[in-house]
Amino acid sequence: MALTLKSLSPFGAEAQGVNLWEQLSDAQVKIMQDAWSQSGLLIFRRQALAEGELVRFSAVFGATESIVRADWASAAFPQVIQISNMKDSSGRSIGGLGAGELDWHTDQSYVVAPATGSVLYMVEMPANAPATYWANLQLAYAALDADTRARCEGVDVVYDYLARQSTYDDEPQMSAELRRNTPIVTHPLVNTHPVTGARSLYLDPTTAVGILGWDEALGRAFLDELRAHVTQPQFVYTHQWQIGDVVMWDNGVLMHRRDAFDATGNRLLKRTTLKLSAAQHIVPSGTELLEA
């Protein structure tokens, strides 16, 4: 069966006719790469991947990276992290993020040079599995009025991982090492896609703590205004998970969130993080700030 793409609403595509554990052809890779670059979201159903196969597939699209949360990493492949509420025989969490709701965020906004590609593979899920939602910040930017667009120009948003970490289930107090690895950083609010020329917001409401050079209250109010705008239904794709789903998304143009679920149900996903090409994707550049 040939690889085909089925458009999703309001954005993204489902790739059909491909087994990700097999060697991909150059033609298949180009179709997927072009679709991912322009839509930001690709979905594959009914896959069956060992961790090594997940890493090999991911590496086709960018260099795999180990994230700062080494406590979530697979013992066999440190590039793979486990997203789970499950615990081992000693009662320790086998992964991260628990069963609580995860509010709107963007992976790696707290890094000066973020790895913006994410690949997430569903291994185990409860009967009443939570949905995951992606918001398209490129579509949202295009729908802004001229005055709001003007207010966005030249703006740098301040991000602090501590603000995000405090919202996670089963999280210890931030260690000195984690603080060193996650300094406070800034990123431009607006970026331009290198292929299409389309403008896009770059935003992470869970981690953003203000706007550089702005009064604190005014900065937070503007960020809240943008959050309300970009999360309107016309910009949001809702994913109902099935076992074996693989979802790839581009954090340079998308935000995502997850519903809470019953903690007595087992949920396990495996994720890789990729450095994407700045020639095909928006890759925000940041600046590290000294703490006040």
pLDDT in tens, 164-184: 665 555 555 655 666 666 788
pLDDT for 145 equals 97
Evaluate whether residue 101 is within a structural domain. yes
pLDDT for 169 equals 53
Residue 70: pLDDT band (50, 70, 90) is confident
Evaluate whether residue 249 is within a structural domain. yes
Residue 64: pLDDT band (50, 70, 90) is very high
Average pLDDT rounded to a whole number, residues 135-152: 98
Evaluate whether residue 50 is within a structural domain. yes
Whether this prediction's pTM lies above 0.75 is answered by yes
pLDDT for 292 equals 43
pLDDT for 10 equals 97
Evaluate whether residue 77 is within a structural domain. yes
Residue 284: pLDDT band (50, 70, 90) is very high
Evaluate whether residue 204 is within a structural domain. yes
Beta-carbon neighbour count of residue 155 at 10 Å?
A: 20
pLDDT digits (tens, 9 = 90+) for 204-213: 998 999 999 9
Average pLDDT rounded to a whole number, residues 124-135: 94
pLDDT for 290 equals 63
- Residue 112 and residue 287 in contact, taking contact as beta carbons nearer than 8 Å: yes
Evaluate whether residue 205 is within a structural domain. yes
- Number of domains within the chain: 1
Q: Is the per-residue pLDDT at 244 higher than 90?
A: yes
Evaluate whether residue 287 is within a structural domain. no
65 CB-near residues (< 8 Å, 6+ apart): 79, 115, 273, 274, 275
Q: Could you tell me which residues are beta bridge partners of residue 120?
A: 247, 271
Evaluate whether residue 2 is within a structural domain. no
CATH code assigned at 275: 3.60.130.10
Range of the domain at 120: 7-280
Give the span between the Cα atoms of 205 and 60, in whole angstroms.
30
